[in-house]
Amino acid sequence: MLRIAVPNKGVLSEPAAEMLAESGYRQRRSTKDLAVYDPDSDTEFFYLRPRDIAVYVASGTLDVGITGRDMLMETAPVEGPSAVEVMPLGFGRSSFRFAVPVESGIDGIDQLAGKRIATAYPVLLQRYLAEAGIKAAVVKLDGAVETACRLGVADAVCDVVETGTTLRAAGLRTVGEPVLTSEAILVRRQGAEEIPAVAQLRRRLRGVLVARQYVLLDYDCPNELLEKATALTPGLEGPTVSPLQTPGWSAVRAMVPQGETNRVMDDLWELGARAILVTKIHASRI
């Protein structure tokens, strides 16, 4: 039986469960459920705090888990087996960075020396400061870190930023480059042997990622333009080209990155392709 850790709360919780459901796994009915068993795949899901997930996976009690890259790095044990990133999952994107009050005179990370920096990620922050050779006091908080400056317990914060809305609302501005960029990831115990159930999970998750990231493009194309047209739509392994009943024309089908759809359609039209159709991919195994 495969045992998987899934975030039970926070911003990763819903999209993680959604991705697993799209991958064909049964998910919990109520947010109060602590675990659920999916008999079809013989898989048990445990709903745990994202901060704890890498700890369970590193210990070997659970086979794989979904957590944030920043959480994995924060909770990596100093000694003994650890969990490692297996694949990025394309959601929960954020960066981990320094911020100071808008009116503060601090303009660079080196000016944080001697200051108090509040964070919910003390391990990540300490490591970064040590590597950068900056001596500063780390104030460890549990959450809502952005409020620490206004309430006078810190001069700066180091926290998760997505849209920047929370920072702005707290009267803060970012300083320096991000300490790291994060997103939801699949984690496994370092050195764990590849078992068929994990390989299948990875194929299913990759299938969802591809279905989300690509669309299927169909178009008709005069044969003399095929070379140029297929260069615009190379697909993954190569486009499918089949003859149309109309002499001198072919039908082409290829996967195209979602974000490039309109540019590619415009370029194909300019070139002389016609009947350009886009179809959403519901599922895939690549």
Ligand X SMILES: O=P(O)(O)OC[C@H]1O[C@H](OP(=O)(O)OP(=O)(O)O)[C@H](O)[C@@H]1O
Ligand Y SMILES: Nc1ncnc2c1ncn2[C@@H]1O[C@H](COP(=O)(O)OP(=O)(O)OP(=O)(O)O)[C@@H](O)[C@H]1O
Q: Is 107 in the site for ligand X (CB under 6 A)?
A: no
Helix (H) or strand (E) holding 53: helix 50-59
- Min dist. Cβ of residue 263 to ligand Y (A): 28
> Rounded to an integer, what distance in angstroms lies between the CA atom of residue 149 and that of residue 151?
5
Near ligand X by CB under 6 A: residue from 144, 153, 199, 283: 144
Q: Is 153 in the site for ligand X (CB under 6 A)?
A: no
- Decide whether 143 or 234 has the Cβ nearer to ligand Y: 143
- Min dist. Cβ of residue 141 to ligand X (A): 9
Which residue has the closest beta carbon to ligand Y?
68
CA–chain centroid gap for 92, Å, is 5
Q: Is 42 in the site for ligand X (CB under 6 A)?
A: no
CA-to-CA dists, residue 233 to 208, 220, 240, 258, 270, angstroms: 21, 13, 10, 12, 14
> Rounded to an integer, what distance in angstroms lies between the CA atom of residue 264 and that of residue 229?
10
Q: Is 272 in the site for ligand X (CB under 6 A)?
A: no
Q: Is 143 in the site for ligand Y (CB under 6 A)?
A: yes
3-state DSSP helix/strand/coil % of the chain, to nearest 5: 35, 35, 35
Near ligand X by CB under 6 A: residue from 62, 109, 160, 252: 160
Near ligand X by CB under 6 A: residue from 3, 10, 85, 223: 10
Near ligand X by CB under 6 A: residue from 78, 108, 165, 227: 165
Partner in contact with 239, chosen from ligand Y, ligand X, none, beta carbon below 5 to 8 Å by kind: none
Q: Is 159 in the site for ligand X (CB under 6 A)?
A: yes
CA–chain centroid gap for 263, Å, is 25
- Decide whether 165 or 262 has the Cβ nearer to ligand X: 165
Q: Could you count the other beta carbons within 10 Å of the beta carbon of residue 22?
A: 18
Helix (H) or strand (E) holding 86: strand 83-88
> Rounded to an integer, what distance in angstroms lies between the CA atom of residue 218 and that of residue 98?
46
Applying CB under 6 A, which residues contact ligand Y? 9-12, 50-51, 68, 70-71, 92, 94, 143, 160, 162, 182
Applying CB under 6 A, which residues contact ligand X? 10, 143-146, 159-166
